[in-house]
Amino acid sequence: MKLIFVYGTLKRHGSNHRFLAGQQFVGEARTVPGYVLYSLGDYPGMVRSPDPTHFVTGEVWQVDPTGVAELDKLEGTHEGLYERVSISLESPFEASSVETYLYLRTVEGRSVVGSTWQI
């Protein structure tokens, strides 16, 4: 089982939330500073940010190996769209091993969303 931080369409009530069916919601969370969201159209991409005031809000889910494999397919990890990486979250998850999906392609010309993707 892995703890996965989701910040966009996978969140509860999001258009891709069905991919978390059967997985366990752990709680709402926020990254440590150093991340920001960009709009990629109908979904966001989270990238690293040098701005210490940038952070991202989302949810933590406990996901089984089959679910992680499905999320990897959805996020296009094999095509180089996103990469699943370990990140640090703020309290109460700071001591937990949590992974998320970082967007790998250019965000040039994309709009900054900020910290929260609105469903």
Domain CATH for 70:
3.10.490.10
Give the range of the structural domain holding residue 18, as residue numbers without chain letter: 2-114
119: in domain:
no
DSSP element (H, E) containing 41: none
Q: Please count the structural domains in the chain.
A: 1
Number of Cβ within 10 Å of residue 89's Cβ equals 22
**Sequence-distant (≥ 6) Cβ neighbours of residue 62 within 8 angstroms:** 1, 2, 3, 4, 23, 24, 26
In this prediction, residue 93 has a pLDDT band, given cuts at 50, 70 and 90, of confident
Q: What is the pLDDT of residues 63-75, one digit of tens each?
A: 999 999 999 999 9
pLDDT confidence of residue 52:
92
Does residue 119 register a pLDDT over 90?
no
38: in domain:
yes
Task: Work out the average pLDDT over 49-71.
Answer: 97
In this prediction, residue 16 has a pLDDT band, given cuts at 50, 70 and 90, of very high
Place of tokens 């910290």: 115
Does residue 107 register a pLDDT over 80?
yes
49: in domain:
yes
pLDDT confidence of residue 95:
80
Residues marked as catalytic = 75
DSSP element (H, E) containing 10: none
63: in domain:
yes
Average model confidence (pLDDT) for the chain? 96
Number of Cβ within 10 Å of residue 103's Cβ equals 21
